[in-house]
Chain A
Amino acid sequence: MTQSVVVQVGQCGNQVGCRFWDLALREHAHVNKRGLYDEALSSFFRNYEGICWGHILTYLHPQAVLIDMEEGVVHGILQGPLREVFDSTQLLTDVSGSGNNWAVGNLMYGSAYRDSIVNKLRKAAEHCDCLQCFFLIHSMGGGTGSGLGTRVLSLLEEEFPDVCRIVTAMYPSAEDDVITSPYNSVLAMRELTEHADCVLPVENQSLVDIVNKISLMSHDAKPGCVLKKESTVTSGQGGVSPTERPFDAMNNIVANLLLNITSSSRFDGSLNMDLNEIANNLVPFPRLHYLVPSLTPLYTLADVNIPTRRLDQMFSDAFSKEHQLIRADPKHSLYLACALMVRGNVQVSDLRRNIERLRPSLPFVSWNQEGWKTGLCSVPPVGHAHSLLALANNTCVKPTFMELRDRFTKLYKKKAHLHHYLHVDGMEQSAFSEALSSLSALIEEYHHLDATKARLIPDAPRLSIAR
């Protein structure tokens, strides 16, 4: 059984991470009735005495490193109900924060805390029998998350080159309250393109839309049709924290995303899908590793006998615009590859039937017409009978990146706020132009692939065999 380490950086990263650990404990409590430390738990937690399977849980430690340059959020976690779960050696905090400045986070704190960060990462890795993956959670708009987070990413690549790095990055929406977020995001994007194995971009605005949609559904539900409120993808009910704070619903969605991605490597299933298979199958060219996630179902009705139609609806929803975690419409852009990770009582015939049903409406790139990677896990998530996570490597990320580039150039043309960055030791103006050209090159690559969308590409001539 492989282990994963979660590294949460910055305010956003730590808040999402906190929800993740809460929901992970809830899920394992649901599945693991006898309270014994088993293989599934060992992928994210270690038992106090070290890895001894079959022993009663004495003291669970999550395999995590929490980093923030101001103390408020981490201290909040340590005073909340999860305080007994983390120990102080997993935390790294400072006092003053990064001031929403990527350069401060990446260069100033990055070099000051380099050794300390590497030590904590190494310690977390040593506890693992077989470390498979680092999950990095941070936002792109702030200073610590984007700056220090991407610095941690490059440290992970240096120190642990063989371990997969999956980054969950929270992209800012257009109406973000941080003025320098375009600078921070584009500077961080360059690091993500170079050093990450996979990036799961998530946009705040999509999360807000999904949460609003769910609360609308539960208010407008038809009479006689009871909506199970506690089984939505956004609810933390049944977890450790008693009350729900603002942003919790949105963060729960991202936490559920991470739980679903790792479900097949933790639990049994008829067609397993490990984390290393994700990068291997979904990333056709090294820089195009941005996978758009979408989670369904978002809510369940209280009826127990779920007819096949509802199952098929789940599959259709996964490809609709409203369920994607970034503002994009994958159905009208080109698919390079798509992964479907199903949990619960779904059989291979349901999966094949739905793939055949939906395939004609989805444009796939010419050299990967059957670009599906499928996984079946038998354990459903808490509160649902089955669920589907779709990860699409799709050119619909291009408009998102182009918008980001536009917001960046608007500020950069006027050199607004630039002096805050250039004041930091080691930061030069060339960093900005390089980041901009890296982003442009990425957009160009997606554009090239998009251009092949409507064209009918003939089969490449086959090798001729000597007779």
Chain B
Amino acid sequence: MSVVTVQLGQCGNQVGQELFDVMCSDARDVHRKTYSAVSCERFFRQTTQGALEARAVLIDMEPKVINHSMSKAAKSGRWRYGETSHFSQKQGSGNNWANGYCVLGPRHRDAVEELVRREVEHCDMLAGFIPIMSVAGGTGSGVGTFITQCLRDVYPSSFVLNHLTWPYGTGEVIVQNYNSVLTLAHLYQLSDAILVHENDIVHKICSQLLKIKQISFSDINRVIAHQLGGVLQPTLTPASCGAYSRHPIGELMSALACHPEYKLLSVCTIPQMASSSIAFSTFSWPALLKHLRQMLISNSKMEGGIDWQVCPPPASAGRSRSLSAGSFNTSLANLLILRGKDVYSAETGGFEDPAIYTSWLPPDEALSLWKSPVPFNKYEKSATLVSNSQALLRPLDDMVRKAWNMFASR
């Protein structure tokens, strides 16, 4: 089953290029034939000469980034983008959501739909769409929202999983809060689930865990790509009966998007460390899972500085619905993906504890577990947690507050 990625705007195209890079190296370097085959089928198609072409459509309102991404991909020698799978104009959206959504989106609708249709026709079976974009700019947010709407209209029975990158809280674009709020409001109606990465958090991961001195956007994009790859690469799910799952996006939706009002998903991965330290570290599933569980309930996205004091409130106390109810992060549903050695012996009972979930959902349905015996991205054992929880509440509230203050002035 194949996934079609739609890369929108500068951020979307840069992140998408790193994502395909990660997935191609993972598929190629690993010596398990079935795994590689499933992974390649999912994200790439084979040309007649045997080269791998990404199942992606690149969209931007100005040509520089697309040209850069396409040449970077071609230079890697292992994969590339389709020659005609891109669409660009000459002038950007000017960081203006309205320009992207109301003017540029409708104007170029036909051209973009044509490109997507061609990509979909190459797929034997379509698993779903993943539009990748940022919310701070104009093209990613505005045109991205419009294109998501088009995907919904033209392919009503396909899954759409939006991947968003939220900007730095200290300001990357002055009107970023307007663009973000407008995008999220629309995407909430259109998308099946929204997977979010925040620049602030990824930046901290780069500086504190990966120990990178001068962090560039490619470092940030690589971390995002690694986390996304950990979610999207082939796994054995309970429903797939011993073979690699052929419905990755559908199963993700049924695992996590349990209620139409709760669609925001966050990702965290463990371990994350500088590549030079990997050789000197040993990993054990109990330690990794214990850290991951505490990261979830204390709402920390990194293994450093976890607050071990946070624990689930006793079952007898009423659950208050305020933001400041301790710093305990209640989840609706969690998807735990384990990759590497000895996955079958990993003990995940900690995630099945009803205390970390809301009271109005059956706790045995709340946790889904996917496994893959293939190590991912050089880590002998790694775990990725995709959770539908309160984790994004604070940054979202900040965003809305700042947008409202700007709007309410004068």
Chain A residues, CB < 8 A from B68: 268
**Taking the complex as formed, is B369 at the interface, i.e. its CB lies under 8 A from any CB of chain A?**
no
Chain A min CB distance to B74 (Å): 16
Is B95 a contact of A281 with CB atoms below 8 Å?
yes
**Taking the complex as formed, is A352 at the interface, i.e. its CB lies under 8 A from any CB of chain B?**
yes
**Taking the complex as formed, is A366 at the interface, i.e. its CB lies under 8 A from any CB of chain B?**
yes
**Taking the complex as formed, is B240 at the interface, i.e. its CB lies under 8 A from any CB of chain A?**
no
Chain B residues, CB < 8 A from A272: 10, 62, 64-65, 92
Contact residue among B10, B94, B169 (Cβ-Cβ distance under 8 Å from A280): B94
Chain B min CB distance to A295 (Å): 21
Would A276 and B92 be within 8 Å (CB), given that A348-B220, A350-B214, A367-B405 are in contact? yes
**Taking the complex as formed, is A383 at the interface, i.e. its CB lies under 8 A from any CB of chain B?**
no
Is B96 a contact of A270 with CB atoms below 8 Å?
no
Chain B 156-207 interface residues, beta-carbon cutoff 8 Å to A: 168-175, 203, 206-207
Chain A 263-294 interface residues, beta-carbon cutoff 8 Å to B: 268, 270-272, 274, 276-277, 279-282, 285
**Taking the complex as formed, is A175 at the interface, i.e. its CB lies under 8 A from any CB of chain B?**
no
Chain B 89-106 interface residues, beta-carbon cutoff 8 Å to A: 90-92, 94-96
Is B95 a contact of A348 with CB atoms below 8 Å?
no
Contact residue among B90, B216, B410 (Cβ-Cβ distance under 8 Å from A349): B216
**Taking the complex as formed, is B287 at the interface, i.e. its CB lies under 8 A from any CB of chain A?**
no
Is A348 a contact of B216 with CB atoms below 8 Å?
yes
Chain A residues, CB < 8 A from B203: 348-349, 352
Is B171 a contact of A277 with CB atoms below 8 Å?
no
**Taking the complex as formed, is A337 at the interface, i.e. its CB lies under 8 A from any CB of chain B?**
yes
Is B95 a contact of A280 with CB atoms below 8 Å?
yes
- Which residue of chain A has the shortest Cβ distance to B398 in the bound complex? A370
Is A460 a contact of B170 with CB atoms below 8 Å?
no
**Taking the complex as formed, is B283 at the interface, i.e. its CB lies under 8 A from any CB of chain A?**
no
Is A2 a contact of B96 with CB atoms below 8 Å?
no
Contact residue among B94, B168, B169, B213 (Cβ-Cβ distance under 8 Å from A274): B94
Chain A residues, CB < 8 A from B400: 462
Contact residue among B90, B96, B172 (Cβ-Cβ distance under 8 Å from A1): B90
Is B216 a contact of A370 with CB atoms below 8 Å?
no
Is B92 a contact of A274 with CB atoms below 8 Å?
yes
Contact residue among A366, A373, A463 (Cβ-Cβ distance under 8 Å from B405): A366
Chain A 43-58 interface residues, beta-carbon cutoff 8 Å to B: none
Is B172 a contact of A374 with CB atoms below 8 Å?
yes
Cα A280 to Cα B175 in complex, Å, equals: 8
Contact residue among A129, A347, A371 (Cβ-Cβ distance under 8 Å from B214): A347
- Which residue of chain B has the shortest Cβ distance to A365 in the bound complex? B409
Is B168 a contact of A352 with CB atoms below 8 Å?
yes
Cα A155 to Cα B410 in complex, Å, equals: 32
Interface string of A419-460 (1 = CB under 8 A from B): 000000000000000000000000000000000000000011
Chain B residues, CB < 8 A from A276: 91-92, 94, 96
**Taking the complex as formed, is B109 at the interface, i.e. its CB lies under 8 A from any CB of chain A?**
no
Cα A376 to Cα B401 in complex, Å, equals: 28
Is A371 a contact of B174 with CB atoms below 8 Å?
yes
Would A459 and B405 be within 8 Å (CB), given that A272-B65, A277-B92, A372-B170 are in contact? yes
**Taking the complex as formed, is B154 at the interface, i.e. its CB lies under 8 A from any CB of chain A?**
no
Contact residue among B95, B170, B213, B409 (Cβ-Cβ distance under 8 Å from A370): B170
Contact residue among B173, B175, B405 (Cβ-Cβ distance under 8 Å from A460): B405
Chain B residues, CB < 8 A from A349: 203, 206-207, 212-216
**Taking the complex as formed, is B125 at the interface, i.e. its CB lies under 8 A from any CB of chain A?**
no
Chain A min CB distance to B107 (Å): 14
Is A277 a contact of B408 with CB atoms below 8 Å?
no
Cα A61 to Cα B273 in complex, Å, equals: 53
Chain A min CB distance to B363 (Å): 26
Is A367 a contact of B406 with CB atoms below 8 Å?
yes
Cα A277 to Cα B218 in complex, Å, equals: 23
Chain A min CB distance to B72 (Å): 11
Given contacts A130-B91, A270-B216, 15 further A-B contacts (CB under 8 A): A1-B62, A2-B90, A39-B63, A271-B10, A271-B217, A272-B62, A274-B91, A347-B214, A347-B215, A347-B216, A368-B174, A368-B406, A373-B173, A460-B408, A463-B404
Please name 25 pairs of A and B residues whose Cβ atoms are closer than 8 Å in the assembled complex, sorted by A: A1-B90, A268-B68, A271-B172, A272-B64, A272-B65, A274-B94, A276-B92, A276-B94, A277-B173, A280-B138, A280-B175, A347-B216, A347-B217, A349-B213, A350-B214, A366-B405, A367-B405, A370-B170, A372-B170, A372-B174, A373-B95, A373-B171, A376-B217, A460-B404, A463-B404
Closest 7 interchain pairs by CB? A370-B171, A276-B94, A372-B171, A460-B408, A349-B215, A367-B409, A130-B90
